Amino acid sequence: MTVIVCYAPTNDSDDVTNKDFNSALSRCLATVPPSHDITVLLGDFNATFRDDMDVWCSTIGPLSPDPLNKNGLCQLKLCRSHDVCFANTYFQSETIHQYTWYSNDGLTKKMIDCVIISKHWRSSVKNRRTYKSAGLGNAEHRIVCADFRLRLQAKRLEKKPVSADIGKLKVPDTHLKYSVEILNCSSPLAHLISPKIIGSILNRRPGKQHNHCLAKGVTQGNHG
């Protein structure tokens, strides 16, 4: 899992500052291993969103309380290009549990602190809410919590069949070792098997249970 924490410039910042931030964040996201890695972005993005399912359906959910601003548009474009989405916008909750920032005037409130996750792992986020009473000394921002549950399935490794190299029977040491193993397997029935049959067993083609003696790549014994 890769966790990235960031703090974006305000929506009133100049274009150069916003461009530099987005470029740095994009470079950071580009360094995340692309296969099977979970990317999580946490932070104050100073961005607000208004859902447009025709354009941003895979990047943002249907629950966006604030209108789209300049920073929001930049973040939507960046997230779509890196296959991540805003988990905040997929959970229905009371209004008091959606807003993450309150101004000192007591009237202005926005959802600008976000939990962003790889689209492939979005279903692992089970809930998200803001705790208005937990300011922890910060008069403006509130704590944002998300429940994350991950189920991993072990990859089954298939055993590859051992390939027999019959040509190794020409080596005296290998032929002797193979013959001994054949006799050991047949020893419980030795009193029922005639010498002629035993001789044919020693000269037969190898079966799967004895292929390890003739496996390709096995170092041959010394032969003199």
Please tell me whether residue 211 adopts helix, strand or coil conformation. Answer: helix
Among 175, 185, 189, 193, which residue's Cα sits nearest to residue 209? Answer: 185
- Going by pLDDT thresholds of 50, 70 and 90, the confidence category of residue 186 is low
> Does the pLDDT of residue 89 top 50, yes or no?
yes
Q: Give the E-state strand segments of the chain in sequence order.
A: 2-7, 39-44, 84-86, 101-102, 109-110, 113-118, 125-131, 143-148
pLDDT digits (tens, 9 = 90+) for 10-45: 888 898 998 999 999 999 988 887 766 788 888 888
Residue 102 exposed, middle or buried by CB count within 10 Å (0-12, 13-18, 19+): middle
Please tell me whether residue 116 adopts helix, strand or coil conformation. Answer: strand
Are 41 and 84 within 8 A, CB to CB? yes
- 2-148 sits in which CATH class? alpha beta
Are 113 and 99 within 8 A, CB to CB? no
Residue type, 129: R
pLDDT at position 17, please? 92
pLDDT at position 71, please? 87
pLDDT digits (tens, 9 = 90+) for 115-162: 888 888 888 888 777 777 655 555 678 888 888 887 777 677 777 766
The pLDDT of 84-98, averaged and rounded, is 79
pLDDT at position 162, please? 66
Residue ranges of the domains in the chain? Answer: 2-148, 166-213
- Going by pLDDT thresholds of 50, 70 and 90, the confidence category of residue 217 is very low
Are 79 and 122 within 8 A, CB to CB? no
Two structure tokens written together for 134? 């937990």
Mean pLDDT of the chain: 75
- Going by pLDDT thresholds of 50, 70 and 90, the confidence category of residue 219 is very low
